[in-house]
Amino acid sequence: MATDVKVPTLGESITEATIGQWLKKPGEAVAVDEPIASLETDKVSVELPSPVAGTLSEQLFAEGDTVEVGAVIARIGEGVATAAPSAPAAGAKTGDGQTVVAGTPVNPVGAGENPALREDHEAAPAEHADLTLSPAVRRAVLELHVDPSKIHGTGKDGRITKDDVLLAAKAKEGAPAPVHEPEVKAPIAAAAPAAQPARITGERHEERVKMTRLRQTIATRLKEAQNTAALLTTFNDVDMSAVIDARARYKDPFEKKHGIRLGFMGFFVKAVALAARDVPSVNARIEGDEIVYHDYLDVSVAVSAPKGLVVPVVRNAESMSFAKIEQAIAAFGKKAKDGTLTAEDMKGGTFTISNGGVFGSLLSTPIINPPQSAVLGMHRIEERPVVKDGQIVARPMMYLALSYDHRLIDGREAVTFLVRVKEAIEDPTRLLIDL
């Protein structure tokens, strides 16, 4: 008797999802709680586990299809795995006399063919027939003519990513061509498309890729912010010397005690919490014809994920220690990379900090994350000449940008807030004595 696999409840207000990738194929064995598919929602990507052990007997939707919460998308049958119906048994003969190895027809060794070359190509599909490749990765493998069995995957659970394929292709181009390569007359795999000629310099190509649900949501929300809020950005620069000195002095004992590196973000979160006490409107939001003020600071920290920018929330940051802040941010960064962030991780948030400096950004005008009213943009640190005590000296400087909703926050309040952050960073002692 088959067991239905349904789309689970994915979070508040989430009613549908997109099938991002099937991780198991029909006929493959699955264990209890083993992921069989990845689902993309408006906020996160989650893996769908199998409710029972058995064999994946049926996929009711294809990758890229939109499914509603509660919909049956697959069925798990009892018993052990069997070969997929479309794959002939290993060693079977096809109508044209080709030998099938792991479902892939290959030419038999013939006169003038290099047996070692055949074995190299033949063994890989047989040994690695269970490789799970996403559509984008599969397309890259075919276009670049690389062997996925020889690629070390850096994705979750060792899965191969598109970047892994590109690196393998680049390494292949740099390697000397084998002597026997020109002797290969017939295609190695009939199921794969014929090898394409080398691209001519100047040739133009286009590729259409459907936007992920996460990217669609990001586009909608950012455009909504521009259409609704009266956006304005104010700038300042900050001397990072004191924070850099503090990190250099305490990074080793800090890491030894707390098991986490002391980063810049902890200083900025504490500085924002301090400044928000003096300028509470920056940590507020508009709701209808009312202003909602918060006596807590839930900081949305922008984190780069494989499929886009996500903003998990560090809650009650105003009462957290440096160590707790750094541990929370590091945990979110790992979950974003692994694709295990949940909708609850990104729910809420009263203020956002975005650090474009890690990518080399010198200056930017960040967009607020509705219904929040402000976002602080951090940028790269670089030495610039500044005047100190009448002398021109080099200092590690960073530009800060505060984008805010002018409907709620006046220019004077925005500038005051940013100056408070600047003062706390240039003199971290203020963070300790609450000044």
Q: Which residues are part of the catalytic machinery?
A: 406, 410
Beta bridge partners of 403: 233, 375
What letter does residue 88 receive in the DSSP assignment?
P
Please give the biggest Cα pair distance in the chain. Answer: 89
**How far apart are the C-alpha atoms of 163 and 153, rounded to whole Å?**
9
Contact partners, residue 188, CB within 8 Å, separation at least 6: 106, 107, 118, 121, 122
Beta bridge partners of 404: 232, 374
What letter does residue 229 receive in the DSSP assignment?
S
- In degrees rounded to 5, what are phi and psi of residue 80? -85, 165
- Parallel, antiparallel, or unpaired: how do β-strands 35-40 and 99-101 relate? unpaired
Angular region, 60: left φ>0, alpha ψ -120 to 50, beta rest:
alpha
Asked if 20 and 137 touch (Cβ cutoff 8 Å), the reply is no
**How far apart are the C-alpha atoms of 5 and 293, rounded to whole Å?**
44
CB atoms within 10 A of CB 223: 11
Closest to 136 (Cα-Cα) out of 118, 156, 163, 167 = 163
